[in-house]
Amino acid sequence: MDSRRDFLQKLTFSAIGLPFLSLSGSTLTEAFYKQPYEGPVLRVAIMGLGSYGNRVAEAMQSCKRAKVTGVISGTPSKIKDWQSKYGIPAKNCYNYENFDRIKDNPDVDAVYVITPNSLHHNHVIRAARAGKHVICEKPMAVNAKEGQEMVDACNKANVKLLVGYRMHFEPKTLEVIRMRQAGELGKIMFFQGLSGFRIGDPTQWRLNKQLAGGGSLMDIGIYSINGARYMVGEDPVWVTAVETKTDEVKFKEGVDETIQFQLGFPGGAVASCLSTYNMGNLDRFFLNGQDGFAELQPATGYGPIKGRTHKGELTQPHYTHQTIQMDEMAGIILDGKKPVVPVDGEEGLKDLKIIDAIYLAAKTGKKVDLKL
């Protein structure tokens, strides 16, 4: 298995179509998809035409409020293929050297950065300076210092910075959040997040410290970090962590294989999480309250997500995650809509601060206090 994205794709069923049903906790409704839409559309240039860039573009063909209108890639053959498939004119195609010219292109409102982690910082700041809103894949950067600079650059340019947290719009996830907010689970006491798979090709960029910024924690583990926060409904105040490495050839210095980490929350809840590149079939969230529980398994795959609570099975409809994400993000950028769970740069920055603290805790063996 070559990547997390391959894992997520194979772990769960392929997403087919977009059910026209209401979404619990979301702004999208049955009427929205069934009725003709004539309002503003977010015009997006995709930067990075790899496997996930292709997945996003495919999903956006079902969007009503977002459309792919441009591409940015260092591979001319990929650009040519995308032009043919999505009807993108040559004037909306760029490479990494000349994409600053996008500043003068009225066909693009936002740039979706889907490049290796270490490139996000430069690409987001350049897009912001070009006056374009930015959507950045997670993790937003390789550390909190870079993340803060990205947030500052977007604020200075007066453009929005959003992060590709697709699970923040997923129906079953939103139902668990609704139940927790309504008090149906009682006082939250414990969260468990298991995120892992056995990574394949040892030459891929995800196992390159310079490109990935780390290992499993930067790739799959961030799901449990972010998930702990939106499931518990608080930001953690401390972290402890232990790293385990069994293959120092594949997982070189600075590339974590397995990290177990614990988070403490101000309300008294604790989280126990696992991030790994060397164990399969790990995609589970469990939230325990004094009056009930919620479990998602798979919790973060491409879908359908499956779940149950003390009240029974979760039956909310499956939506293609990237379709609903981009429609919702269009609403955030164009209308100033407020999502149930934030997806802005500040949200991404909090996860980066936690990642920095986890690495520090694993290195020192000490409890690290957090101030998010």
Residue bearing tokens 């029974």: 312
- At residue 164, the 3 state secondary structure works out as coil
Alpha carbon distance 90, 88 (integer Å) = 7
Could you say which of 52, 223, 319, 359 is catalytic?
A: 223
120-129 helix and 144-157 helix, angle to the nearest 10 degrees:
10
Q: Which of 33, 52, 132, 138 is catalytic?
A: 138
For residue 8, what are the contacts with CB-CB under 8 A and spacing of at least 6? 283, 300, 301, 302
- Given a contact cutoff of 8 angstroms between Cβ atoms, the answer to whether 193 and 227 are in contact is yes
What phi, psi does 252 have (nearest 5°)? -75, 180
Establish whether 138 is a catalytic residue: yes
Contact criterion met (CB below 8 Å) for 348 and 117: no
Query: H or E segment at 119?
Result: none
The residue type at 182: A
Q: Would residue 319 show up in a list of annotated catalytic residues for this protein?
A: no
Pairing outcome for strands 133-136 and 110-113: parallel
What's the order of all strands across the beta sheet hosting 42-47? 93-94, 66-72, 42-47, 110-113, 133-136, 161-163
CB neighbours of 256 closer than 8 A, spacing ≥ 6? Answer: 214, 215, 216, 217, 243, 245, 275, 277, 359, 362
Asked if residues 182 and 311 have their Cβ atoms less than 8 Å apart, the reply is no
CA separation for the pair 104, 108 (Å, rounded): 9
Could you give the residue numbers annotated as active site? 138, 223
